Amino acid sequence: MTADETTIVERAREFLAGHDPDAMGREAFLRARYDAGLAWVHFPPGLGGLGAPRGLQAVVEREFDGTPQLDVGRQAIGLGMAAPTLLTFGTEEQKRRFLRPLWTGEELWCQLFSEPGAGSDLATLATRAVRDGDDWVVDGQKVWTSGAHMARWAIMVARTDPDVPKHQGLTYFVCDMHASGVEVRPLRQITGEAEFNEVFLTGVRLPDTLRLGAVGEGWRVAQTTLMNERVAIGGTPGRRGGGMMALITETWRTRPELRTHDLHRRLLELWVEAEVTRLAAVRLREQLAAGTPGPEGSGMKLAFARLNQALSGAEVELLREEGLAYDDWTFRRSDTVDFVGRGPGYRYLRAKGNSIEGGTSEILRTIVAERVLGLPAEPRADKDVPWKDLPR
């Protein structure tokens, strides 16, 4: 055990000796853990961390096993995307205001990026933010917004200068989801539920103190969010044979009457692919511990989507007509994200979204080709054209 690790272990055990979650309650326990610098140890002191190496987070989680945990299904966007963006581009006041309730889950976050005419090509987005004194007035429409119906805050990109090329006229904001003019409408999915939403913004006034980064540098700030998003989706830690693979192999072991030679061969191939993907995710997270995420996260997100869809399809094929049965089509507003919940029919349908959410597979392949493999860039006729002159 290194000196750093010993210090972290001692600090965690000292904290646990003085804080009984059963007596304190979950939220109070999490607030105290944040204040002790044991939330995310690589964050600065006073912001939930100790300024320690990021790799020591695993040591903290091991010591806090069995104590109240974060609800990752509800907090994924805040923890995985908003927090690293706030840490990199936020003012000290913004960091102190937002990070603590974000980490404890007392305030949930969503991401106002995609639009009806700007999803795959995010830089073409049309939501406008116009300066009015100390405020910005925002008008536009966002779509495919996970968890907007529960969110207190959102990270948002808006166009603040239509007279310059599309990547240069964007500015990044924190949007108050309780502000006048914010309307959230559910989008019913193929599963019957509504994790996603449309968000209409009509004359929404946001103070300039909610801007992240400089005016016109929204694309640069958004890249930090997007790189972290792909690591959050594709690089999530998993155990060998866990997740979707655990479900299908359990059926294989307990239902010998369903086995066929072809499915056996396919399951073996998927097992190898799942293990390669898991180990690549481990390596990616180690690279992340040494710095900020790079374009390699796009490759992991691609692999995750392809594997999840292949596994859920193989499970339905293995179960035959039983796998096609669906538990409940009742419309519901999901309050969490669960890729493996409910049953095989749900998993099969839900996995279809994996190649759209968090960046489409087509866009991610372009990023991998150009920024990881160094292949020639696609011709871009709109590169130097003012956004207002682009055909729409």
- Report how far residue 319's alpha carbon sits from residue 180's, in angstroms, rounded to the nearest whole number: 50
Q: What pLDDT score does 3 carry?
A: 57
Q: What pLDDT score does 318 carry?
A: 95
Q: Tell me if 364 is assigned to some domain.
A: yes
Q: What is the mean pLDDT of each run of 10 residues along the chain (392 residues)?
A: 82 95 94 96 94 89 94 91 95 98 97 88 94 98 94 98 95 98 95 93 98 97 86 70 91 94 95 92 75 77 92 95 87 81 90 87 90 88 87 78
Q: Tell me if 29 is assigned to some domain.
A: yes
- Report how far residue 351's alpha carbon sits from residue 340's, in angstroms, rounded to the nearest whole number: 9
What's at 289, amino acid-wise? A
Nearest to 148 by CA among 103, 195, 205: 195
- Report how far residue 171's alpha carbon sits from residue 370's, in angstroms, rounded to the nearest whole number: 25
DSSP-derived letter for residue 377 is P
For residue 250, the Cα-to-chain-centroid distance in whole angstroms is 29
Range of the domain at 328: 221-373
Burial per residue of 216-237, b for 16 or more beta-carbon CB atoms within 10 angstroms, e otherwise: ebbbebbebbbbbbbbbbbbbe
Q: Indicate which residues carry an active-site annotation.
A: 229
- Report how far residue 55's alpha carbon sits from residue 235's, in angstroms, rounded to the nearest whole number: 15
For the chain, report the end-to-end CA distance as a whole number of angstroms: 59
DSSP-derived letter for residue 293 is -
> Which of 20, 36, 69 is where one domain is finished?
69
Q: What pLDDT score does 388 carry?
A: 92
**243-254 vs 296-319: helix axis angle to the nearest 10?**
20
Q: What pLDDT score does 305 carry?
A: 92
**Tokens, residue 133:** 């004194």
Q: What pLDDT score does 236 carry?
A: 66
Burial label for 113, CB within 10 Å (0-12, 13-18, 19+), is: buried
**Tokens, residue 139:** 């008008």
Which residue in this structure is represented by tokens 């976050």? 109
Q: What pLDDT score does 131 carry?
A: 98
Q: Tell me if 13 is assigned to some domain.
A: yes
Q: Tell me if 17 is assigned to some domain.
A: yes
Which residue in this structure is represented by tokens 């166009």? 159
- Report how far residue 206's alpha carbon sits from residue 85's, in angstroms, rounded to the nearest whole number: 18
Q: Tell me if 353 is assigned to some domain.
A: yes
**Tokens, residue 205:** 């006034």
Burial per residue of 49-62, b for 16 or more beta-carbon CB atoms within 10 angstroms, e otherwise: bbebbbbbbebbee
What's at 123, amino acid-wise? A
3-state secondary structure of 239: coil
CATH of the domain at 323: 1.20.140.10
Half-sphere exposure of 308 (CA within 13 A, CB side): 23
> Which of 50, 69, 88 is where one domain is finished?
69
Q: Tell me if 90 is assigned to some domain.
A: no
Give the total residue count for the chain: 392
Which residue in this structure is represented by tokens 């909610």? 210
Neighbouring residues of 6: CB distance < 8 A, sequence distance ≥ 6? none
> Which of 24, 46, 69 is where one domain is finished?
69
- Whether 119 contacts 360, CB under 8 Å: yes
**Tokens, residue 338:** 């669960």
Q: Is the dihedral of CA 142, 147, 150, 153 positive or negative?
A: negative
How many independent structural domains does the chain possess? 2
DSSP string, 13-46: HHHHHH--HHHH-HHHHHHHHHHTT-SSTTSPBT
Q: Tell me if 349 is assigned to some domain.
A: yes
Nearest to 297 by CA among 308, 284, 278: 284
Q: Tell me if 307 is assigned to some domain.
A: yes
* H-state helical runs in the chain: 3-18, 21-24, 26-35, 57-63, 72-77, 83-89, 92-104, 218-234, 243-254, 261-289, 296-319, 321-324, 344-350, 361-367
